[in-house]
């Protein structure tokens, strides 16, 4: 684990370093274009990610973006510059070559792209998060026949949309929202 240098709230990455990260992201995309003989278009790079993740490649409504955590980049700039940037570009390249739904997120294809970019194919970072604003998910109270359960907002919303049902592992009865009469 990389240890923190301070124990106060970290300021987000400054504009100069943001530009360095954007340029490095573009360099890796151009490098991948040459290596794979495929023109990968430049995509937006945002510094709006919060929480524990240093970076994220995302496709939403057929729009591709790379998101970086400005706080983790500020605190661990050198490490993120050399590991997170190629990590997210590799996800983008794999998506463009194979499609995200056809391969594992950190599978063989992703590992090969990471190696071709000159980066170690490491799936996750290990950072001391003191001073980093962390997004905490709200938990929702549900009950079964034997106890109360706290479930995540993601699962709660799936239940509300009728996309999922969850059952107790002990009594096998359906989980029902305590707030269901609202």
- Tens-digit pLDDT profile for residues 26-82: 999 999 999 999 999 999 999 999 888 899 999 988 899 999 999 999 999 999 999
Neighbours of 139 (CB within 10 A): 13
Q: What's the confidence (pLDDT) of residue 129?
A: 76
Whether the model pTM is above 0.85: no
Q: What is the pLDDT of residues 78-92, one digit of tens each?
A: 999 999 999 999 999
Instruction: Name, in order, each residue with C-beta under 8 angstroms of 141's C-beta and a sequence gap of 6 or more.
Output: 148, 149, 150, 177, 178, 179
The span from the CA of 122 to the CA of 84, in Å, is 9
The structural domains of the chain, with segments of one domain joined by +, span 15-116, 139-177
Architecture of domain 15-116: 2-Layer Sandwich (3.30)
CA atoms within 13 A on the CB side of 173: 11
* Beta strands at 139-143 and 148-152: parallel, antiparallel or unpaired: antiparallel
Helices 77-98, 108-116: inter-axial angle, 10-degree rounding: 120
Which residues have a catalytic role annotated?
A: 88
């Amino acid at each position: 684990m990389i240890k923190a240098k301070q124990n106060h709230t970290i300021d987000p990455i400054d504009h100069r370093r943001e530009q360095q990260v954007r340029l490095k992201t573009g360099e890796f995309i151009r490098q991948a274009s040459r290596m794979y003989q495929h023109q990968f278009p430049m995509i937006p790079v945002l510094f709006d990610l919060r929480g524990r993740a240093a970076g994220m490649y995302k496709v939403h409504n057929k729009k591709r973006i790379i998101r970086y955590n400005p706080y983790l980049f500020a605190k661990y700039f050198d490490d993120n510059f050399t590991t997170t940037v190629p990590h997210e570009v590799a996800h983008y390249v794999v998506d463009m070559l194979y499609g995200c739904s056809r391969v594992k997120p950190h599978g063989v294809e992703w590992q090969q792209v990471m190696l071709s970019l000159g980066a170690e194919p490491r799936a996750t970072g290990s950072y001391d998060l003191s001073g980093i604003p962390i997004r905490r998910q709200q938990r929702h109270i549900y009950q079964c026949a034997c106890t109360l359960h706290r479930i995540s907002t993601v699962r709660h919303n799936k239940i509300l949309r009728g996309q999922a049902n969850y059952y107790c592992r002990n009594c096998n009865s359906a989980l029902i929202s305590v707030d269901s009469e609202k």
